[in-house]
Amino acid sequence: MSADDDRLARVALTWLAEPGTWAVHRLVDEFGPGATLDLLRDGGAPEEGLRAAVAARSREGDARAVADDALARGDRLGARLVTPDDEEWPPQLHHLRTLALPGAVRRVDTETAPPLCFWVRGAWPLREALDRAVSVVGARAATAYGLHVATELGYGLADRDWTVVSGGAFGIDAAAHRGALNAGGLTVAVLACGIDRPYPMGNASLFDRIAEAGLLISEWMPGAEPFRPRFLIRNRVIAAATRGTVLVEAAARSGATQTFNRAVALGRRPMVVPGPVTSAMSVGTHELLREQPSARLVTGVPHVLEEVGSIGADLAPPARAPQRPRDMLDDEATLVLESIPRRGTVDVDRLAARAGVTVRTALRKLSLLEELGMIRRRDGGYALTAPARVPGTT
């Protein structure tokens, strides 16, 4: 079979059966795309459910003709088809072969096979774009807090040459994409419909910007509709394609938590941004922090880079309060300073007694405190220096 026939067969297979179907994936592994397509069209699928799905789709048209039309449509759109045989195929997607979710029952949780192909719109090579990538996901009905955090994360990661991956939805997804674009960086939107059908429509201009500066990718052929289950099927790609997933906001039930759980199952770095305990949009994130031992709390780009970056090269600086002059004092100097009255002066002998140190020690520490500008000599004793006033205050 020629390379063109192989590519056409892969497109046809993703039309006959939804992406992620393990039975199709195993057949392609064993027989190749062309032979698998012939087998399914002849009613030879090994599972009854798959046979029924193929039969239903086949009543709508011939799979090869549909695939041929899709390839022509993709050419007109300026899109390209990328398959596992191409150099730009991201090798990390093969890790989906090992994805097993505990207690999985629904199809979207059990049918998690690697993609057969991608439709790609944008100039960047797919493999290069996803080589250093982090996914940022979260609630569609995001709060102002969540949008701010997602934008900052998108901007900061892109500014440090990391690709920001998300799903193009309203809320957290769009904020992360926009942050990366505003930084002049690279972002990838993984769609659950055809790359010529922007969904949601309100993000159409955003998708155009992403296609110009980054990549739009989808497993579904041009023209495919954004059915609800496809978003959940798509989420396995977001998790597998990136080194880690940052969950910014999520309600008690959220598709974003599904992406997070797939990242956990794949051994990717799962990260959670905490939110206000009073916010309904943070219930899901906080529950994951409580229930998932591998989840790491992150509050900004330095924490994310520490999780996904090179060991020893991307450590986040420890959070510290601003250093004050008092922080440089030893215990005896602190005692002497604290023993000086808030008002008035005190002589050395009385000060030493109040501080519980020798006169010699008191004199030595007083010299230090005077040098630091914390005290001054006055009327034969020592007094505290009045704190500097902020201009404009009384």
Residue 304: name the closest of 145, 171, 187, 159 by CA.
Answer: 159
User: Does one domain contain both 90 and 194?
Assistant: yes
pLDDT band for position 252 (cuts 50, 70, 90)? confident
Percent of the chain exceeding pLDDT 90 equals: 74
User: Does one domain contain both 367 and 270?
Assistant: no
User: Does one domain contain both 239 and 350?
Assistant: no
User: Does one domain contain both 98 and 233?
Assistant: yes
Lowest-pLDDT range of 101-105, 128-132, 134-138, 195-199: 101-105
Sequence-distant (6+) residues with CB within 8 A of 218 are: 118, 119, 190, 191, 192, 193, 194, 195, 224, 234
Beta-strand (E) ranges in the chain? 80-82, 118-121, 133-137, 163-166, 187-191, 215-218, 244-247, 269-272, 296-297, 375-378, 381-384
Number of Cβ atoms within 10 Å of the Cβ of 58: 16
CB burial readout 331-363, b (16+ within 10 A) else e = ebbebbbebbeeeebbebeebbebbebeeebbe
Q: Has residue 311 got a pLDDT over 50?
A: no
Which amino acid is it at 147? L
Q: Which has more pLDDT, 50 or 101?
A: 50
Residue 317 maps to a domain: no
User: Does one domain contain both 190 and 228?
Assistant: yes
Looking at 276, 308, 340, the residue that finishes a domain is 308
| Contact call for residues 199 and 174 (beta carbons, < 8 A) | no
Residue 108 maps to a domain: yes
User: Does one domain contain both 348 and 282?
Assistant: no
Q: Has residue 104 got a pLDDT over 90?
A: no
Looking at 43, 69, 95, the residue that finishes a domain is 69
**Segment 121-162, tens digit of pLDDT:** 999 999 999 999 999 999 999 999 999 999 999 999 999 999
Residue 61 maps to a domain: yes
Q: Which has more pLDDT, 310 or 257?
A: 257
Q: Residue 114's domain is classified under what CATH number?
A: 3.40.50.450
**Segment 11-61, tens digit of pLDDT:** 999 999 999 999 999 999 999 999 999 999 999 999 999 999 999 999 999
Percent of the chain exceeding pLDDT 70 equals: 94
SS (H, E, C) 226-254: CCHHHHHHHHHHHHHHCCEEEECCCCCCC
User: Does one domain contain both 226 and 342?
Assistant: no
At 145, give phi and psi (nearest 5°): -60, -50
How would you classify residue 26: left for phi > 0, otherwise alpha for psi between -120 and 50, otherwise beta? alpha
Which amino acid is it at 340? I
Residue 255: name the closest of 337, 169, 350, 325 by CA.
Answer: 169
Residue 391 maps to a domain: no
Q: Distance of alpha carbon 161 from its chain centroid, rounded?
A: 14
User: Does one domain contain both 58 and 88?
Assistant: no
Question: What's the CA gap between 257 and 114, in Å, rounded?
Answer: 20
Residue 115 maps to a domain: yes
Q: Has residue 296 got a pLDDT over 50?
A: yes
User: Does one domain contain both 264 and 365?
Assistant: no
Question: Which token pair is 177?
Answer: 């994409």
Per-residue pLDDT, 393: 44
**Segment 321-372, tens digit of pLDDT:** 566 777 778 888 888 888 888 888 888 888 888 888 898 898 888 888 888 8
Looking at 21, 47, 69, the residue that finishes a domain is 69
User: Does one domain contain both 86 and 115?
Assistant: yes
**pLDDT, mean over the chain:** 92
Residue 392 maps to a domain: no
Q: Residue 362's domain is classified under what CATH number?
A: 1.10.10.10
pLDDT band for position 189 (cuts 50, 70, 90)? very high
Lowest-pLDDT range of 250-264, 310-324, 375-389: 310-324
Report how many domains make up the chain: 3
Q: Which has more pLDDT, 78 or 254?
A: 78
Per-residue pLDDT, 110: 93
Residue 163 maps to a domain: yes
Question: What's the CA gap between 239 and 249, in Å, rounded?
Answer: 16
Q: Has residue 190 got a pLDDT over 50?
A: yes
Give the DSSP H or E segment for 256: helix 255-265
Q: How large is the average pLDDT for residues 286-294?
A: 95
Domain that holds residue 18: 1-69
Residue 17 maps to a domain: yes
Sequence-distant (6+) residues with CB within 8 A of 40 are: 13, 16, 17, 24, 27, 50, 54, 63
Query: Given 3-state DSSP classes, what are the helix, strand and coil percentages for the chain, each rounded to the nearest 5?
Result: 50, 10, 40
Which amino acid is it at 348? V
Q: Which has more pLDDT, 312 or 8?
A: 8
Q: Which has more pLDDT, 391 or 89?
A: 89
User: Does one domain contain both 239 and 364?
Assistant: no
User: Does one domain contain both 135 and 175?
Assistant: yes
